[in-house]
């Protein structure tokens, strides 16, 4: 049976069956807008933060995608950000290179296949505190918060307990090597559809 292709952003959508398709977008360069759905900007006295929350259907405003939880994609993320900031993604950073005297590029490991609304990244001011906990099975849990948020250790311990309990109930290893948690004031999450 011959494959069918639709060209899209230098990628291809190939029908594998009547129920399944594969989309490959080799290169996509996006520019974040201040009023973009799913992308949130927060100003702090010592810098600003950019973070994403792409559910329920905001992924399509950020990148070419299908907002259907049944459709999964592998993401390879590269962020160009100021040198005095912290870049986070779904996976660990595998390379950081200087672009010029002000900017750097952080490249992250490819994600496992995931729904587009779970794709996430953040760029935080360097002044954010970080607390790290490690589960009994080697999963790194990192909590990021402003220095003024004094409960960060309590939150990190609570998260560790919840993840340990969840893993013991599921009795399966979690398919990641780290999870980042961001404590951000006035985070507008939008409405969920009923």
- What are 177's two structure tokens? 């090597």
Of 86, 108, 127, the position where a domain reaches its end is 127
Q: Is 141 found in the same domain as 98?
A: no
pLDDT score at 51:
85
CA 77 to chain centre: 9
Flag whether 122 is in a domain.
yes
Taking the CA atoms of the chain, what radius of gyration do you get in angstroms?
18
Count of CB atoms situated within 10 Å of the CB of 182: 16
Flag whether 17 is in a domain.
no
Q: Is 65 found in the same domain as 133?
A: no
Alpha carbon distance 65, 68 (integer Å) = 9
Flag whether 117 is in a domain.
yes
- What's 55's domain CATH number? 2.60.40.1730
Count of CB atoms situated within 10 Å of the CB of 86: 19
Q: Is 179 found in the same domain as 107?
A: no
Q: Is 168 found in the same domain as 100?
A: no
Q: Is 99 found in the same domain as 44?
A: yes
Confidence of residue 186 (pLDDT cuts 50, 70, 90): low
Alpha carbon distance 63, 56 (integer Å) = 14
Q: What is the mean pLDDT of residues 57-75?
A: 80
Count of CB atoms situated within 10 Å of the CB of 58: 18
Q: Is 133 found in the same domain as 120?
A: no
Q: Which domain holds residue 61?
A: 38-127
pLDDT score at 69:
79
Q: Is 116 found in the same domain as 48?
A: yes
Q: How do the residues of the chain divide into helix, strand and coil, expressed in percent and rounded to 5?
A: 15, 35, 50
Q: Which residue did the predictor score with more confidence, 165 or 12?
A: 165
Confidence of residue 70 (pLDDT cuts 50, 70, 90): confident
Q: Is 135 found in the same domain as 96?
A: no
**How many domains is the chain partitioned into structurally?**
2
Flag whether 54 is in a domain.
yes
Quick: pLDDT tens for 73-90. Answer: 888 888 989 999 999 999
pLDDT score at 39:
82
Q: What is the mean pLDDT of residues 141-164?
A: 94
Q: Is 115 found in the same domain as 50?
A: yes
Pairing of β 93-98 and β 178-182: unpaired
- What's 137's domain CATH number? 3.30.2010.30
Q: Is 178 found in the same domain as 163?
A: yes
pLDDT at residue 30 is higher than 90:
no
pLDDT score at 168:
92
Nearest in space to 89 (alpha carbons), one of 139, 126, 50, 56: 50
- What are 110's two structure tokens? 């490819």
Which residues are within 8 A (CB) of 29 and not within 5 positions of it... i.e. 6 or more apart?
Answer: none
Q: What is the mean pLDDT of residues 141-145?
A: 96
């Amino acid at each position: 049976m011959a494959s069918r292709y639709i060209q899209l952003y230098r990628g291809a959508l190939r029908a594998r069956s009547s129920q399944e398709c594969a989309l490959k977008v080799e290169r996509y360069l996006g520019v974040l807008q201040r009023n973009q759905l799913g992308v949130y900007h927060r100003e702090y006295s010592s810098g600003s933060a950019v973070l994403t929350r792409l559910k329920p259907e905001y992924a399509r405003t950020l990148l070419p995608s299908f907002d259907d939880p049944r459709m999964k994609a592998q993401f390879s993320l590269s962020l160009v950000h100021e040198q005095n900031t912290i870049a986070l993604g779904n996976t660990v950073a595998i390379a950081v290179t200087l672009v010029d005297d002000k900017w750097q590029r952080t490249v992250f490991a490819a994600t496992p296949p995931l729904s587009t609304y779970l794709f996430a990244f953040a760029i935080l001011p360097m002044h954010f505190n970080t607390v790290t906990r490690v589960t009994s099975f080697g999963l790194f849990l990192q909590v990021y918060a402003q220095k003024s948020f004094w409960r960060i250790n309590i939150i990190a311990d609570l998260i560790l307990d919840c993840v340990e309990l969840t893993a013991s109930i599921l009795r399966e290893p979690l398919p990641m090597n780290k999870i980042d948690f961001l404590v951000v004031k006035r985070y507008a999450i939008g409405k969920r559809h009923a």
